[in-house]
Amino acid sequence: MLELVNVSKKLDRQSIIQSVSFRTPKGCFHTILGDSGTGKTTLLKLIAGLEKPEEGHILLEGRDVTAVPAEGRRIPMIFQQPLLFPHLTVYQNIAFGLETAGWNKGKIRNQVQALLAVLQISELELRIPGTLSGGQQQRVSIARALAPGNPLVLMDEPFSSLDPSLRRELGQQVKTLQRQMNLTVIFVTHDVTEALQLSDEILLLKEGKVLESGTPQELYERPKKMATARFMEAGNLVEGSVVKGEFHCELGCFLSVGIPEGPATGLIPERGICVTSGDGDARIIDIRYLGKSRRVKVLVGDISLWIEGDFQCDLSIGQTVEIRLPEQIHLMYS
Ligand SMILES: Nc1ncnc2c1ncn2[C@@H]1O[C@H](COP(=O)(O)OP(=O)(O)OP(=O)(O)O)[C@@H](O)[C@H]1O
């Protein structure tokens, strides 16, 4: 559906996007994840045709559109702030693009009402944007972008100005719509949790380059690079080395598969460690209450580990506990 081949872009003589390549299949929720200022919005603008790359190619459905301006691509884009026509009602805002595209009144009504229903704003049909909350306005702008049925939609941090619970709710609704309409979505965010929850594929962007890409599980549980593991806050990183098929580190010895001999870093997931109260060799140095679970930081020798769980036993700072580590852990080259 969408393919970028070695796309590079300079702004103000600075390299902002450097030889970025990726492919997004039809119906994929593809997230571009990265820190602020790393080039995510610039990448979306390049896809939309709002910026032109100095190098590389952009293909839509196999057609090279690199030289086609935004008007010729007509890819809907949803921004952080809803940009609605202030003098039109909610219904008219959503219907606007459909009228210009020549849809008949009945078809427009069906489409607008279906979207209003899924986004749970049917009762707002006759209101004007100035009378709506930020979340309601963003729902309208999502409905307006999706209404014409374009198979590809770009979203630039669309939920970042909403409060966390609304953000989750709207994210789930967009995900449902994306599945129902079999949309291809390119979604920009800097929020790891949001990316993990919504995406089929994630492209991790760092300083304008692709750091790593893969499914949420691949990037979180089996990252290839330490920078990825760090960005995804995937667990505890432990330095060591692989000797004769085993990974040796200060915490002990683990099975090692597919990593050559030499220095390596192990990734121990926070939820992969068992804790039992008793006189063990781990000492609790911090406890964070998370509601459904707790995060506990323990010190084992010189190594500190975060452990997350819904611990049944009473735990307190200073207490010593026993921990049981998994036999095999994910390893990365150091
Ligand atoms: N028109 C411009 N002229 C010069 N530099 C620009 C321009 N637009 C963006 N930049 C720079 O390009 C870099 C990437 O910006 P971009 O908005 O793509 O990042 P981002 O990852 O989307 O950031 P954020 O998450 O903060 O929105 C930034 O350093 C920014 O200052």
Instruction: Give me ligand 1 centre to Cα 120, in Å.
Output: 34
Q: Can you give the pLDDT at residue 315?
A: 87
Instruction: Give me ligand 1 centre to Cα 53, in Å.
Output: 15
- Token pair 């926070």 is found at 270
Backbone angles phi, psi at 156, to 5 degrees: -105, 100
Q: Is 46 helix (H, G, I), strand (E, B) or coil?
A: helix
Q: Which atom of ligand 1 is nearest to the CA of 38?
A: 21
Instruction: Give me ligand 1 centre to Cα 37, in Å.
Output: 5
Q: Can you give the pLDDT at residue 163?
A: 87
Kindly state if the Cβ of 13 falls inside 6 Å of ligand 1. no
Q: In terms of DSSP bridges, do strands 209-214 and 29-33 run parallel, antiparallel, or are they unpaired?
A: unpaired
Instruction: Give me ligand 1 centre to Cα 173, in Å.
Output: 29
Instruction: Give me ligand 1 centre to Cα 17, in Å.
Output: 10
Residue 230: CA atoms inside 13 Å, Cβ hemisphere, count? Answer: 8
Mutate to test the pocket of ligand 1, among 9, 15, 16, 204 (most ligand atoms within 8 A of CB): 16
Mutate to test the pocket of ligand 1, among 9, 32, 41 (most ligand atoms within 8 A of CB): 41
Task: For residues 296 and 299, give the distance between their C-alpha atoms in angstroms, rounded to a whole number.
Answer: 10
pLDDT tens-place values along the chain, 334 residues long: 899 999 999 999 999 999 999 999 999 999 999 999 999 999 999 999 999 999 999 999 999 999 999 999 989 999 988 889 999 999 999 999 999 989 999 999 999 999 999 888 999 999 999 999 988 999 999 999 999 989 999 999 999 888 888 899 899 989 998 998 899 999 999 999 999 999 999 999 999 999 999 999 999 999 999 999 999 998 999 999 999 889 999 999 998 777 888 999 999 999 989 888 878 889 999 999 988 899 999 999 999 999 999 887 788 999 999 999 998 899 997 6
Q: Can you give the pLDDT at residue 334?
A: 65
Residue 143 buriedness (CB in 10 A; 0-12 / 13-18 / 19+): buried
Q: Which atom of ligand 1 is nearest to the CA of 190?
A: 25
Kindly state if the Cβ of 319 falls inside 6 Å of ligand 1. no
Q: Can you give the pLDDT at residue 188?
A: 97
Q: Is 269 helix (H, G, I), strand (E, B) or coil?
A: coil
- Give, for 272, the enclosing helix (H) or strand (E): none
Mutate to test the pocket of ligand 1, among 20, 42, 81, 194 (most ligand atoms within 8 A of CB): 42
Task: For residues 90 and 308, give the distance between their C-alpha atoms in angstroms, rounded to a whole number.
Answer: 44
Kindly state if the Cβ of 189 falls inside 6 Å of ligand 1. no
Task: For residues 7 and 20, give the distance between their C-alpha atoms in angstroms, rounded to a whole number.
Answer: 5
Mutate to test the pocket of ligand 1, among 12, 18, 44, 189 (most ligand atoms within 8 A of CB): 12
Each residue of 153-173: b (16+ CB within 10 Å) or e? Answer: bbbbbbbebbeeebbbebbee
Nearest protein Cα to ligand 1, atom 18: 39
